[in-house]
Amino acid sequence: MSVFRDPTIEQRRIRWAWTFLALPIVFYVTIRFWPTADAFVLSFQKWNLLKPREWVGFDNYVTLWNDPVFWKVFRNTFVYLIIGTPVSLVIAFIVAWHLDKVRFLHGTIRALYFLPFMTSAVAMAWVWRWFYQPVPIGLFNNMLASLGFSQVAFLNSTSNALPAVLAPAIWAGLGFQIIIFMAGLRAIPVSYYEAAKIDGVSGLTVLWEITLPLLKPTMVFLVVFSSIGFLRIFDQVFNMTTNDPGGPLNATKPLVLLIYQTAFGGSFEMGYAAAQTVVLFLILLIVSLIQLRILRDR
C-alpha cells in the first residue's frame, strides 16, 4: 500500500471501509454481543418466559453449586474431555505418522479414515445406538455372542455408557485430526530428517527429538480445537439416550444437555440455564487458556 496518499482519497477509502463493515457490525452487535451480555444478565434473574424477569442476585449460581446433578454433569463434561482428547489425538497421530510413509493406495486409505468426518452426528448417533443394543438386535453384542462371549451392557450401565457415547464422537473427528497432523508432518523440512540420517540417529529419537517438537503448533491447535468439541458434546448424547436423556442415572449427561433441559425441557428456567451457560463459557475459557499456556511453554 502506498504510503503517500491524497487525503481525500484517504477519506474516501475510510468511508468505503465503514460502508463494508456497516452491516457486519450490526450483525455482530445484535447477534453476538448483545446476546452474550443478555446471557450474563439473565444468569442473575429468574425467568420462565411467562412472567416478567425478576432479579435474584446470585441465587441461580447458589442453586447450581448445591445441585448434585450439576456436579455429576460437571464431572461428566470433563471425563468427555479427558478421555476424548488424548485418545483421539494419539490415534490420529499414529495413523498420520504411518500414513505419511505409505504410497500405495495412499488416497484411498486416507479417504477411509476421513469419511466419518463428513457424516452428520445425529445420523451416526442412531447408527451406533443400534450397534450397542443388547442381544438379539445389537451388532456388537451379536458379534460377541457369536464368538461365545457374554454380552456387554453398553448404554445401560453407569460405567460403560459414557465411553460408549463418546466413541462415535472420537470416531467422527479422527479424519480431520489425521489430515491436520499430516499437514504438520509435511511442513517439517526434509533436510532435518536427512541431517538426522547422516548422524545415524534412530527412528524413535527422530520422532522424539525432531518430529514432535516441530509439530507443536499443530498439536496446540488440535488439542484446543478438539477439547472445545468434547466439552460441548451434545448431539451424540441426546440422540443415543432419548428414552432417558443423559441417563442412566445421569451417567452420560454433559453440561450442554443439562442447559438444554433446564431451558427447553419443560420448565423454562431460563435464568438458571443462563447461569449454566456462563459456567460453560468459563470452563471453555479456562481450559483453552491453560492448554495454550502449557503447550506454548514447553
Partner 1 sequence: MAVIETPIADRVVAAPPPRRANWGQMIRWLLLFAGGIVMVAPLAYMLSASIKYPYELFDLNLIPKEPTFDNYREVLGDSRFARWFGNSILIATLVTISNLFFDSLVGYTLCKFRFPGRYIVFIAILSTLMIPTEMLVIPWYVMSSKFGWIDSYWGIMFPGMMTAFGTFLMKQFFETVPDDFLEAARIDGLNEFQIFWQVALPLVRPALAALAIFVFLGNWTAFIWPLIVTNSVDMYTLPVGLKSFAVEQSVDWEMVMTGAAVATLPTLIVFLIFQRFIIRGVVMAGLKG
Partner 2 sequence: MKLHLKTGVMAAAMALGLGASAARADVEIEYWQYFFEARVDAMDKLIENFEAANPGITVKMTHFPYDDYRTKVAAAIPAGEGPDVVQLFYGWLNDYVDAGLIQPLPTDMFPPEKIDAEFFPMVQAMKRDGQYMALPTAVRALALFYNKRLFEEAGITTPPATLEELVADAKLMTKTDGAGNITQEGLTSGMTGQDHHWLREVLFRQFGTPPYNEDGSVAYDNEAGAAALQWYVDLQAKEKVTQNTFMDEAQAAFKAGRAGMHIDGSFRIGALKSTRGLDWGVAELPSGMGVQSNYASYWVNAISSKAEGEKLEAAEKFMAYITSDEAMQIWLETVGELPAKPTAALTPENEADPVYGPFVRGLSYAHATIFADESGQRNVLVDAVNRMLLEGQSAADALHQAAMEEQAILDKYNAK
The minimum distance between CB 216 and partner 1, in angstroms, equals 14
Residue 158 touching partner 2 (CB under 8 A) = yes
- Among 149, 183, 290, 296, indicate the residue that binds partner 2 (CB under 8 A): 149
- Among 249, 282, 286, 292, indicate the residue that binds partner 2 (CB under 8 A): 249
Quote the CA–CA distance of 36 and 282 in Å, as a whole number.
13
The minimum distance between CB 104 and partner 1, in angstroms, equals 6
CA 273 vs. chain centroid, Å, equals 21
Contacts with partner 1 by CB under 8 A: the residue count is: 96
CA 3 vs. chain centroid, Å, equals 44
Residue 152 touching partner 1 (CB under 8 A) = no
The minimum distance between CB 116 and partner 2, in angstroms, equals 23
Quick one: cell of 20?
Answer: 463494508
Quote the CA–CA distance of 53 and 46 in Å, as a whole number.
6
- Among 83, 100, 134, 188, indicate the residue that binds partner 2 (CB under 8 A): 134
Quote the CA–CA distance of 106 and 27 in Å, as a whole number.
44
Q: How many CB atoms lie within 10 A of CB 225?
A: 15
Residue 133 touching partner 2 (CB under 8 A) = yes
Residue 242 touching partner 2 (CB under 8 A) = yes
For residue 110, the partner it binds in partner 2, partner 1, none, with Cβ less than 5 to 8 A by kind, is partner 1
The residue (of 192 and 268) whose beta carbon lies closer to partner 2 is 268
Residue 63 touching partner 2 (CB under 8 A) = no
Quote the CA–CA distance of 225 and 219 in Å, as a whole number.
10
Q: Where are the alpha helices (DSSP H) in the chain?
A: 7-27, 34-42, 59-65, 68-99, 106-114, 121-131, 139-146, 161-186, 190-199, 203-206, 212-214, 216-231, 235-240, 255-264, 270-297
- Among 69, 90, 143, 207, indicate the residue that binds partner 1 (CB under 8 A): 143
Instruction: Show contacts with partner 2 in window 267-286 (CB under 8 A).
Output: 267-268
Q: Which residues bind partner 2 (CB under 8 A)?
A: 48-51, 129, 133-137, 141, 145, 148-151, 153, 155-158, 242-244, 247-249, 264-268
